[in-house]
Structure 1
C-alpha cells in the first residue's frame, strides 16, 4: 500500500512538472498591459536640423552694372536664392593671388553671400557637392561670390570663397545654369530690392578687408508682435540628465529654481526666461578632436531638438582653453541683437561652451519660443540711410572707429509675459558687443539720440 502511494505521488509530481514546463514554453505576456505602462516621454522640444538649415548669410548682395542691391523681404529671397543654390556642384579648385583678392566686380552678373562669422570647410561640404580629392586651401570662409566669366569663348558661372581669417581666396567652377543665373541677378531691378553701397570696416592687409553693404537711402522695416510660449522646465530633467530619477529640485534664496543629479546642474534664471545647464568635466584629459565646435554643438542640440524657432549660427570665439559658439534668433530674415532686459542676451541667443575635451560644458538658452505667425504687424519704422548713420557715428565725441567691427540693422526684442515685440533699429558691433544706435534721421523723425 505504501509503495502504491509513493508511485502515485511520483507520477503526480512528474505530470505537474510537465504541466509547468508546458506553461513556460507557451507563455505569452499580456501586451495590452505592457502598452498601458507609462514610459519616459522622449519628446524633444524642437526638431532636428541639418547644417544647411542653420547656416544663413547675414547679407546677400546682387551686383549689376556697377550697382549693388539687397532684398527688402529677406526670408522669401533667401528661400529663392540661397536655398536654390544649395547643393550645387563645384570643382576645379585653384588658389587666387592675393593681388586679385577683391576683384569681386569683374562681371555684371554677381551675387555675394556674406556670413556673420567664419564657416568651417566641413560645413561647406554639407552645403555644396564638393570632391573630397581636391585641396580646398583653407580651413574656413566668411563669404563667397558667384560670378560669370568667359572661358574658351563660353560663359561659365564660377565661385570665389574668401577667408579673411586665413587670407586666402579659392576659385572654383560651378554647374549653375548661365541663363538662370542671369535671370536671378536681373531681378535686382524689381521693387523687391533696395540699393546699397559698400563700406569697408576692417582692413586686414594684403587686400583683405571686411566689407558690409549699407542702404543708399532711408528705408522702412515693420515692427512685429508674436505670442511667446513657455518651454516646460521639467522636460529638461529628462533631456539633459542621464537618469531623471536621481535629479533633485532646489529653490534658491532669490526664488530661482535649480535641478541637479549631484554632478550636472540646470538653473532657471531671470524669472523663468532663461535656462543654464552646467556639465563639469572634472579630470577630463581627453584631447579635443579636430571636429569643429559647430558640429559638436549641432549634435548636442539635435539630441533634444534645442534649435527651436529660427536660430542660426552667428559667432564663435576662444576663451582661453574654452570655445564658445552662439546661435542667434532671426525673425523674417532680420537678426535680434538686444532686448529690453539689456544684460540678458540669452533671450535671443543660444550659447554653448566646450572645454579641453569634446563635451559641451555649458549651455544657456531662452525658456520660451515665439509662434510661427505674428499676431500683429505695425506701421513701418523708418531707418536712416547708411551714409547718414556713418556721419552720426563719426560726429559722436567718444566714438573710436577702430573699435567698430560690424554694422547692421536688426530687431530690439521687447519681452512681455505672453508675447514679444520686435522693433527695428540700427546696431553696431562696437568693442565686442552689439549696441543700439539712437539717431535722428535726415527728415528729423525722432528715434532718440546718441549711442547706447
Structure 2
C-alpha cells in the first residue's frame, strides 16, 4: 500500500511540473508586448500602396529613325511607352566601361543611327535605377548617377551591332555596357512603334520640338479630401496626447511636443515635421546609396501614412534646404483615359500634384502632401491642341531662360473650382537646368482642329525636312557644343551642370519644390 502511495505522489508531482511548463511557455500572450513608436502603423485605409519600382521611370523616350528624323514618347503616352520601357527593364546590362563623352560624335549618331534615348530628367543614382533595371557593374559605375540611356544600331564592316551608353548626370563621363541583352531586331522593333507618331525636330542644343500640334485635353474632375484629423491619427503614435494650436497665419497645428502637423489650404494640404528623428550620419556609404535608402524609406512612409492617389514619379533627389538629408519630390500624373496621362503642374498658389519628403538616409523627417483624392474619371473633357512647329519654336525663342531649358513636354495645370472640382488645362512645360519646371505656353484657341491641320501635311507619317532647328526658330542662341569639338559635341546635346536642384513654385506655374 505504501508503495502505491509513493508512486501516486510521484505521478502527481510530475504532472504538476508538466502543467507549470505548459503555463509558462505554451499559452499565447503570457509575455508582455511593448508597442514602440517605430512599430506603429495606423490601419485606417487611405490611398493605395506603391513600390520603388512604380515611381522610377523615364521622363521621355526619344526614338531616332535615322535621316535626321525623330519622335518622342512622353511618360504618359501609353501603351507604346510602356511597351518599350517594360522590355528594357527585363534585359540585362553588364560589363560597363567608362570613357570620355567626347570620343563619340553624338550629333552624327542622333541624326544617322536608328536608336532610342531614355531621359531620366535631372538624374537618378545607379544604385536606385538597378531596383528597376537589371544592371551589374563595377563600384565606380554603381556609385554614379545617370540622366540618360542611349541605345542605337551601329553599322560596321563586320555587321550591325547594338551599342548601349549610360550618361553620367555630371556630363563628364559615359559608361558603355559591353554586354547588353539586346539584339538589332529589338531596337528596330522598338523604334518601329513610333513610325506614325508626331514628328519632332532637334535644336542645336539637343531639345526635341514637335513639328505638328499635339493633341491634349481640358478636363473637369471632381474630388474628395481626407479629413485632417484622419492624418493626425495616422501620423501620431498616440493621438490622444496631441493638442491643437493656431499659428500666426491661422493654420491649424497638431503637436505632441515632438512632432508637428500643420494643416493649410482650407484643410487640403498638410506639412508634417519630425525634428526629433535620429540624425543619421549622411557621410557613411556612397551618395547613391544614401539617396537610395532615403527613397525606399520615403515610399514605405507614404504607403503607411496616406498612400498614393494615382501614378507618381520620382522627380528630384536634391539636397535638403537645411543641408541635412535629401529633399525627395514625387510628381503626380493626371489620368485622362486608359491610354493617356499628363504630369501635373500646380497652378499659381494652389498646392497640388506632388508629395515632398525630407529623408536622412532611412529616416523621414519631413512630409508635405495634398489630402485631395481625384475621381477616377473626369466629369467633362474636351479635346484641346498644344501648338507645334513654328508657333512653339517662337515661344521657345522668346522664353527668358531659353539657355537653361533641358526638356520640353506636355503637362496639365491644376486650378481649383467651386463645389469640390478641379480644372486641368493642357500646357507645354519646360524643365530647366536647376530642376525647376515652368509653363512655356498654353493650348491653341478652343475649336482649333489639329486633325484637319495634319491632313494638310504629308499624311500621318513623319514629315519631310525635320532636320535641326536654327537659333532663329527655337534653337538656343549661340549654342555651341560642350567640351570643344564641333564634330563631337556634348552628349545628347544637353548643357553641363544639370543638377537635381530644388524646384521652387513660381507665379508662372513653376514646380513646387521650393515650398518651405
Residue 360 of structure 1 and its aligned partner are, at CA, apart by: 2.5
Distance 1:406 1:94, change over 3 A: same
SS at match of 1:428: strand
SS at match of 2:110: coil
2-side partners of 1:295 and 1:199: how far apart?
37
- Residue in 2 aligned with 1:55? 56
Distance 1:186 1:431, change over 3 A: closer
Q: Is the 8 A contact 2:427 2:442 kept in 1?
A: no
2-side partners of 1:255 and 1:221: how far apart?
39
2-side partners of 1:156 and 1:388: how far apart?
39
Residue 139 of structure 1 and its aligned partner are, at CA, apart by: 0.6
Q: Is the 8 A contact 1:404 1:431 kept in 2?
A: yes
Distance 1:404 1:245, change over 3 A: same
Query: 1:175 pairs with 171, 176, 181, which one?
Result: 181
- Residue in 2 aligned with 1:195? 199
Q: Is 1:391 the counterpart of 2:386 in the alignment?
A: no
SS at match of 2:426: strand
Residue 282 of structure 1 and its aligned partner are, at CA, apart by: 7.8
Query: 2:85 pairs with 68, 82, 85, which one?
Result: 82
Residue 279 of structure 1 and its aligned partner are, at CA, apart by: 1.1
Distance 1:234 1:78, change over 3 A: farther
- Residue in 1 aligned with 2:117? 112
Residue 372 of structure 1 and its aligned partner are, at CA, apart by: 3.4
Residue 241 of structure 1 and its aligned partner are, at CA, apart by: 2.2
Distance 1:442 1:390, change over 3 A: farther
2-side partners of 1:65 and 1:415: how far apart?
44
1:130-141 pair list within 5 angstroms? 130-131=135-136, 135-136=140-141, 139-141=144-146
Give a deviation string over 1:387-417, Cα, whole Å, max 9, x none.
Answer: 4333234347xx2544545433211112234
Distance 1:117 1:178, change over 3 A: same
SS at match of 2:267: coil
Distance 1:63 1:283, change over 3 A: closer
2-side partners of 1:282 and 1:49: how far apart?
24
Distance 1:373 1:262, change over 3 A: same
Q: Is 1:359 the counterpart of 2:359 in the alignment?
A: no
1:28-67 pair list within 5 angstroms? 42-43=43-44, 45-66=46-67, 67=69
Q: Is 1:256 the counterpart of 2:259 in the alignment?
A: no
Range that drifts further, 363-372 or 105-114: 105-114
1-side partners of 2:240 and 2:226: how far apart?
21
Give the structure with higher Rg (CA): 1
Q: Is 1:217 the counterpart of 2:199 in the alignment?
A: no
Question: Going by fraction, where is strand more abundant, 1 or 2?
Answer: 1
Distance 1:337 1:259, change over 3 A: same
Give a deviation string over 1:284-336, Cα, whole Å, max 9, x none.
Answer: 47445433335413323323413331111112323351432211112234211
- Residue in 2 aligned with 1:334? 342
Q: Higher RCO, 1 or 2 (CA under 8 Å, sep at least 6)?
A: 2
Q: Is the 8 A contact 1:428 1:434 kept in 2?
A: yes
Distance 1:121 1:52, change over 3 A: same
TM norm structure 1: 0.77
Gaps of 5+ in 2: 1-15, 30-39, 335-339, 449-506, 509-516
Residue 255 of structure 1 and its aligned partner are, at CA, apart by: 5.2
1-side partners of 2:342 and 2:379: how far apart?
17
Q: Is the 8 A contact 1:107 1:148 kept in 2?
A: no
Q: How many residues align?
A: 406
Q: Is the 8 A contact 1:46 1:304 kept in 2?
A: no
2-side partners of 1:352 and 1:386: how far apart?
38
Range that drifts further, 147-156 or 326-335: 147-156
Residue 75 of structure 1 and its aligned partner are, at CA, apart by: 2.4
2-side partners of 1:387 and 1:292: how far apart?
45
Range that drifts further, 383-392 or 89-98: 383-392
2-side partners of 1:29 and 1:96: how far apart?
62
2-side partners of 1:441 and 1:87: how far apart?
40
Please give the root-mean-square deviation of Cα atoms over the aligned residues, in Å: 3.8
Range that drifts further, 229-238 or 264-273: 229-238
